[in-house]
């Protein structure tokens, strides 16, 4: 069984990548987890996962004519399978976003949980595809009006494509009581539970600087505990792997003439 | 959620009509310790409803309500009943408080007790001025949160944002060749079984998308 989650926010700087890897690690205690940096235009997962020096990345799977295999771009790190994306702009421009479907289909065959670290803004096809492909969206939110406003937009995009909501993760929180006051409304608008309230933390920056996921770098930090709580709240409702893989691959657009 | 505080040294015990008096005295003395507020109602009716506020150098840090087991701003809301109050003020070593103060769910912004319990913005400002910088930032976050709460309460505004996003999603789906994957795509669904979404997406006979 596999369930694909897009980790999305609508706004940059909310801590999506940190959240993706932290959730991934927390879920990996119970599930086979594959994490994909689907933010192909602004990739940064490689910095968080100590994969800066790898040769093959998602870009090599998305560029027409490149013959890398999915396995070549998949790295076993921190108990997860991690597919980083490169940061070369020319590679991004050469990439065919539609090929993400095949990649996701292949990865779905061997995973219980697929986490797609998704682009912040929804301004392009490559940015919206992770949300189209996912079963459900985990919305990472800073409790500010601009962040909520953009996340509401992501929520509507997801709903438009029949992608469900897995809930809301409040991140970089400095006043937990304040979040408590808006949680009910937010749960209603986002049609899902509050997965956790993650406190603002220096440990997150330190982990990024060390090139390690938060749960590996500072497992005892309150932020790490909050992510474990989020993972525990998230009930994985995977469908049959073969059926899911078929869903992704059979939706592949015919080759362009 | 329970809070265990060492008893400490009792500095004063009195009945006040305004809890602001206790907050103001704590600030002026640079109290490190805690104050127990018991509304007169509780004295009369023997109800278990005491509020505890801890202080560090005169600035409130935590709030907890024994009757409702609430912490933080919610505890202040529970405590904000008409006076008078019986107030006991205890002094403690900072070291005795440090473990208790590592309880984020009970923390309050420095100026919040003065605002919520005493309704005294000037005292709240004075408290914020005395608070360490990182604590004031938390207070600012609280002010932001009030604005955020108001934003979310405005249902028509939120609905307008969502409506606009729905239209945009639809227009962009056309533009990007994803229209067939919209949830309410008019295309026939082959088999509306458990895997309905998959079936909607698995329509291989789609005309080529642009």
Mutate which: A165, A175, A185, vs B, most B CBs within 10 A: A175
Residue of B nearest to A122 (CA): B169
- Residue A252 is assigned to a structural domain of this protein: no
- Residue A208 is assigned to a structural domain of this protein: yes
Inform me whether the C-beta atom of residue A69 falls under 8 Å from chain B C-beta atoms. no
- Residue A183 C-alpha, separation from nearest chain B C-alpha, in angstroms: 9
pLDDT of residue B157: 84
Helix (H) or strand (E) holding B15: strand B9-16
- Residue A159 is assigned to a structural domain of this protein: yes
Contact A185 B197 (CB under 8 A): no
Among the residues of A87-201, which ranges form H helices?
89-94, 99-108, 125-133, 145-160, 176-190
Residue of B nearest to A132 (CA): B181
- Residue A92 is assigned to a structural domain of this protein: yes
Q: How many CB atoms sit inside 10 A of residue B152's CB?
A: 21
> Chain A residues with CB inside 8 Å of B70's CB?
none
Q: How many CB atoms sit inside 10 A of residue B119's CB?
A: 13
* Contact criterion met (CB below 8 Å) for A95 and A41: no
β-bridge pairing A75-77 and A80-83: antiparallel
Helix (H) or strand (E) holding B63: strand B59-65
For the CA atoms of B178, B179, B185, B190, the dihedral, rounded to the nearest 10 degrees, stands at -50
pLDDT of residue B1: 57
- Residue A253 is assigned to a structural domain of this protein: no
> Chain B residues with CB inside 8 Å of A156's CB?
162, 165-166, 169
- Residue B74 C-alpha, separation from nearest chain A C-alpha, in angstroms: 7
Helix (H) or strand (E) holding B114: helix B112-116
Crossing angle of helices B19-29 and B121-130, rounded to 10°? 20
Inform me whether the C-beta atom of residue A242 falls under 8 Å from chain B C-beta atoms. no
* Interface ipTM: 0.88
The shortest CB-CB distance from B144 to any of A128, A144, A251 is to: A144
Contact B151 A247 (CB under 8 A): no
A152: exposed, middle or buried (Cβ count in 10 Å: 0-12, 13-18, 19+) = buried
- Residue A256 is assigned to a structural domain of this protein: no
Residue of A nearest to B194 (CA): A239
Residue of A nearest to B182 (CA): A161
Nearest to A105 by CA among A128, A129, A125: A129
> Chain A residues with CB inside 8 Å of B104's CB?
176, 199, 222
**Nearest-5° Cα angle at A194, A192 to A198:** 145
CATH classification at residue A173: 3.40.50.300
Residue of B nearest to A155 (CA): B162
Contact B204 A250 (CB under 8 A): yes
For the stretch B182-188, contacts whose Cβ atoms lie closer than 8 Å and that sit 24 or more positions apart, written own/partner, are B182/A160, B182/A161, B182/A162, B183/A159, B183/A160, B183/A161, B183/A162
pLDDT of residue A120: 87
The structure tokens listed for A223 are 């932020």
Inform me whether the C-beta atom of residue A89 falls under 8 Å from chain B C-beta atoms. no
**Nearest-5° Cα angle at B8, B5 to B14:** 100
- Residue A207 is assigned to a structural domain of this protein: yes
- Give the count of domains, chain A: 1
pLDDT of residue B71: 86
**Is residue B159 classed as helix, strand or coil in its secondary structure?**
helix
Which residues on neighbouring strands pair with residue B63, listed in sequence order? B53
Q: Which portions of chain B are predicted below pLDDT 50?
A: 45-46, 187-210
pLDDT of residue B207: 41
Inform me whether the C-beta atom of residue A132 falls under 8 Å from chain B C-beta atoms. yes
Q: How many CB atoms sit inside 10 A of residue A184's CB?
A: 11
- Residue A254 is assigned to a structural domain of this protein: no
Distances, alpha carbon B61 to alpha carbons A186, A201, B39, B78, in Å: 27, 19, 20, 17
Contact B107 A177 (CB under 8 A): yes
The structure tokens listed for B74 are 């919610």
Mutate which: A96, A136, A178, vs B, most B CBs within 10 A: A178
> Chain B residues with CB inside 8 Å of A181's CB?
73, 145, 149
Distances, alpha carbon A121 to alpha carbons A39, A85, B43, B61, B163, in Å: 10, 17, 57, 38, 18
pLDDT of residue A11: 80
Helix (H) or strand (E) holding A161: none
Return averaged pLDDT per consecutive 10 residues of chain A, 257 residues in all: 92 91 97 96 94 96 90 97 95 93 93 95 90 95 84 95 95 86 91 94 94 97 97 84 60 42
Contact A176 B198 (CB under 8 A): no
* Contact criterion met (CB below 8 Å) for B76 and B116: yes
| Separation between Cα atoms, residue A224 and residue B147, nearest integer Å | 28
Residue range(s) defining the domain that contains residue A53: 3-246
Contact B165 A148 (CB under 8 A): no
């Amino acid at each position: 069984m596999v369930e694909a989650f897009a980790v999305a926010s609508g706004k940059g700087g909310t801590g999506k990548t940190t959240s993706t890897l932290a959730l991934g690690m927390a879920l990996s205690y119970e599930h086979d987890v594959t994490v994909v940096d689907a933010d192909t235009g602004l990739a940064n997962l490689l910095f968080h996962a100590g994969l800066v020096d790898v040769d093959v990345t998602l870009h090599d799977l998305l560029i027409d004519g490149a013959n890398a295999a999915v396995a070549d771009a998949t790295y076993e790190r921190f108990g997860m399978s991690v597919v980083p994306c490169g940061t070369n702009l020319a590679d991004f421009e050469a990439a065919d976003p539609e090929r993400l479907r095949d990649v996701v289909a292949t990865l779905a065959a061997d995973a219980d949980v697929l986490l797609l670290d998704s682009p912040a803004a929804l301004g392009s096809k490559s940015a919206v595809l992770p949300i189209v492909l996912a079963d459900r969206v985990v919305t990472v939110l800073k409790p500010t009006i601009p962040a909520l406003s953009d996340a509401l937009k992501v929520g509507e995009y997801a709903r438009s494509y029949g992608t469900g909501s897995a809930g809301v993760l409040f991140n970089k929180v400095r006043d937990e009581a304040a979040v408590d006051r808006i949680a009910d409304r937010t749960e209603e608008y986002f049609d899902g539970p509050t997965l956790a309230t993650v406190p603002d933390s220096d440990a997150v920056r330190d982990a990024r600087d060390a090139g390690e996921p938060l749960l590996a770098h500072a497992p005892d930090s309150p932020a790490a505990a909050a992510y474990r709580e989020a993972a525990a709240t998230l009930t994985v409702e995977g469908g049959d792997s073969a059926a899911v893989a078929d869903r992704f691959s059979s939706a592949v657009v015919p080759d362009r003439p | 959620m329970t809070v265990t505080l060492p008893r400490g040294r009792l500095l004063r015990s009195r009945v006040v009509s305004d809890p602001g008096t206790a907050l103001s005295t704590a600030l002026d003395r640079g109290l490190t310790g805690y104050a127990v507020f018991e509304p007169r109602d509780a004295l009369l009716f023997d109800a278990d409803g005491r509020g505890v506020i801890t202080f560090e150098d005169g600035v409130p840090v935590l709030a907890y309500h024994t009757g409702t087991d609430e912490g933080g701003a919610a505890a202040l809301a529970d405590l904000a009943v008409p006076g008078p109050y019986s107030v006991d003020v205890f002094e403690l070593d900072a070291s005795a408080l440090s473990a208790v103060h590592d309880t984020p769910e009970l923390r309050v912004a420095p100026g919040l007790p003065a605002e919520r319990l005493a309704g005294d913005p000037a005292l709240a400002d004075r408290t914020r001025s005395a608070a360490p910088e990182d604590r004031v930032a938390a207070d600012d976050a609280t002010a932001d949160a009030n604005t955020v709460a108001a934003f979310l309460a405005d249902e028509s505004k939120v609905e307008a944002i969502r409506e606009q996003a729905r239209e945009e999603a639809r227009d962009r789906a056309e533009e990007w060749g994803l229209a067939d994957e919209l949830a309410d795509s008019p295309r026939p669904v082959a088999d509306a079984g458990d895997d309905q979404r998959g079936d909607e997406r698995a329509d291989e006979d789609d005309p080529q998308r642009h």
